[in-house]
Structure 1
Amino acid sequence: MARGRTTLVVVLTSLVGAAAVACSGAPAPSSTLGPVPDDIADHLSVQVDQGRTQYAAREIVLAVTNDSDETMTLLSGALDADGFGPSHPTKENRTPALRPGTTRDVYVELGEAECAGFPAGPEEPVPDAAPSATITLARGEFDDLGPAADVVVAEVGDPGGHLARNHAVDCATAAVAAGASLAVDADIPVETRGGELTALVTLRIDPVDGGPGVTIDRIAGTTIMNNPDPDGEETGWTGSALDGQRSGSITLPVVPARCDAHAVGEDKRGTFLPVTASVDGVTQHVIYVPMPDSARADLFAFIADSCDWPE
């Protein structure tokens, strides 16, 4: 990633014990703890993480590790990363103790991706420089805290490539949306094809007047649904399976990808259609089209019936 860098300050207000003091009328206690040591940045490391449950909300974690001998409280976090606008916290009331040798988290929703100046295409961008973070800390924990201080961690790790992936998905989603609106139907009917129960998932494609041309090239299978008649080794839908898009909709015949109940019970992303599209002939990064809640319920019920689960 390259170009403008925007500092994103996430203020997580620390009012530990203040409400109880206000209600009792007692004077606020004053801490005897001193300020955060000047060299504390040398003993902190920050890493970006993101779980599957966080993908749809574009929430990331700034995992802060304390390798010093100081017990501190994590009050706020800030991310400076190429290609993203201002973000904001998703869990504002967390003020965890950051004891020696431990790791605690700040939760941040990424701001809007800045796509101008980044090449379009299926590849995820490579940043010119590692992101940095500003972490706000105070010595102590619970209701005994010293003064807060901002500490800059110059290089934030992202071994999972979460920022690059989010940026690529965001920009591809915006490029596709400029030419077409994609939506999954609210209902999923079921019929028997070749003696096998088959669900029919319909993706609607509504072109945007004056927008670029959008062509659906592939819809991949997921952890819980697949194409009953794949083309060769393809596990999703390609070629003639996507012909319906010319009339504004694609109906996908679907069978369960697996029948172990925990696969559905623990599903995080299996109901998002992974769509690869071209915009004015340029192939984009895969994007993910969610199902409405009613369609998700239909799909789960279909899998239960197809896999002959007990009532």
Structure 2
Amino acid sequence: MRPGRPHDRPATRRGPTRRARRVALASCGALVLLLTACTGGQTTDASPSTLPPHVSVELRQLRSDVASRWAQVMITNDGPTALVVGGVRVDDPRFDGPAERINDRESTVRAGSTVAIPVQLPAVACPAPDDATPTVTLDWSTTDASGTATARLTDPLSFVPPLHARECRAQALEAAADVTISAFTPSAPGQPADLSLTITPTGDGDAKIVAIHSTNLLTWAGHPNVDYPLDVVITGDGTAPVEVHLPMIPLRCDPHVVQEDKRGTVFNVDIELDGEPGQIQLAAGEEMRGHILTWVGQWCGFPN
């Protein structure tokens, strides 16, 4: 047998050698890397009843959403992996029921991105507390977890309070009168079209329809860029319906303004109710909106 050398000593039970320890540590490191790769680098510390880490939510209303009374739940995912969102419901005591997702589908919010999910706003609840706190409940899943979470929903542009005030005011006005955009008659280029309002007293109160505003697209012949005075007084003694004819012309003839129109046919109307001034909104229906935009294009001479 060859003479022994120091590193050829028989193994003792005093513990692993340095080389063995290095091999063991390397193996553990490889296992950690493997597990991290399998989970996409994401820990599973999210409870099924809370939003995953790095996910935030807020509520906004786009200009194009006003006429249809939609809002958008904005979901931002700052985490390392994609988030899949299914059902979405917004609860707010200022509305008479939940605002629910319009499309029955799933949305993928990729890492580092934001997705807007539209919800249909229900009728407002009047009265309602001024300090109401909306929440959103959504079904979510990632590659390694899933759940249904409820979270506080911020309103960074604060669109809900004025919307609630306007629509509660409109509900109160309905006790005295029904105010509608009832007809539209187009005109030849250079001549005003006719937009008709019908104001029908309901016999349950007094009110005054003071004036109607121009929009970013439409204004009034003889009253450009200012309010068109109406001064229709409604009393609760059975006053007959009143029809008002408004001489309407385009405020501008930029093709991109018509093509990108969002609120051109939504009119602000000044009213007085129980002696208190306020404002409501009147929006043309989708069919009438299409007729108005077509007329603007013809009036302005846009190419077909």
Contact 1:89 1:109 in 2 (8 A): yes
1:59 maps to 2:70 = yes
Q: Distance in 2 between matches of 1:280 and 1:68?
A: 53
CA contact (8 A) 2:208 2:231 kept: no
State the match for 2:158 in structure 1.
Answer: 161
> C-alpha offsets along residues 292-311 of structure 1, whole Å, 9 cap, x if unaligned?
62x44553354334323345
How big is the shift at 1:243?
5.4
> What are the superposed Cα offsets for residues 242-264 of structure 1, whole Å, 9 maximum, x if unpaired?
45988602211112100112222
The alignment status of 1:134 with 2:137, answered yes or no, reads yes
Q: One-letter code of the match for 1:178?
A: A
Q: Name the SS of the counterpart of 1:185 in structure 2.
A: strand
Instruction: Tell me the percent identity.
Output: 23
CA radius of gyration, larger in: 2
- Report the aligned-residue RMSD: 3.1
**Which of 171, 175, 184 matches 1:174?**
171
**Which amino acid is 2:149 matched to?**
V
1:84 and 2:95 correspond: yes
Counterpart of 2:259 in structure 1 is 265
How does the TM-score come out when normalised to structure 1?
A: 0.71
Shift of 1:59: 1.2
Give the whole-Å Cα distance in 1 for the aligned partners of 2:259 and 2:280.
25
Rounded to whole Å, the distance in 2 between the matches of 1:258 and 1:271 is 14
User: How much has 1:42 moved relative to structure 2?
Assistant: 4.5
Q: Which residue of 1 aligns with 2:117?
A: 106
Contact 1:74 1:96 in 2 (8 A): yes
Q: What is the aligned residue count?
A: 257
Deviation at 1:274, TM superposition (A): 1.9
Partner Cα separation in structure 2 for residue 299 and residue 80 of structure 1: 36
Q: Where in structure 2 are there 5+ consecutive unaligned residues? A: 1-37
Tell me which residue corresponds to 1:218: 211
Gaps of 5+ in 1: 1-31, 119-126, 141-145
**Alignment match, 1:148:** 146
State the Cα deviation string for residues 220-268 of structure 1 (Å, max 9, x = none): 001221122228xx52212xx5459886022111121001122222222
Query: For residue 79 of structure 1, what is the amino acid of its counterpart?
Result: V
Q: CA contact under 8 A between 1:216 and 1:242: conserved in structure 2?
A: yes
Contact 1:74 1:138 in 2 (8 A): yes
Amino acid at match of 1:219: I
Does structure 2 conserve the Cα–Cα contact (< 8 Å) formed by 1:44 and 1:153?
Answer: no
- Between the two structures, name the one with larger relative contact order (CA 8 Å, sep ≥ 6): 1
Secondary structure of the 2:185 match is coil
- For residue 26 of structure 1, what is the aligned residue in structure 2? none
Contact 1:135–1:150 at 8 Å: present in 2 too?
yes
1:227 is the counterpart of 2:220? yes
In structure 2, the residue corresponding to 1:164 is in which secondary structure?
A: helix
Distance across 2 between alignment mates of 1:184 and 1:129: 33
Q: CA deviation at 1:114?
A: 1.2
Q: Does structure 2 conserve the Cα–Cα contact (< 8 Å) formed by 1:63 and 1:105? A: yes
Q: Paired residue for 2:193, among 178, 195, 199?
A: 199
Whole-Å separation in 2 of the counterparts to 1:58 and 1:160: 16
Counterparts of 1:285-304 in structure 2 under 5 Å? 285-291=279-285, 293=287, 295-304=288-297
Partners of 2:266 and 2:281 within 8 A in 1: no
TM-score, normalised with respect to structure 2:
0.72
What secondary structure sits across from 1:171 in the alignment? Answer: helix
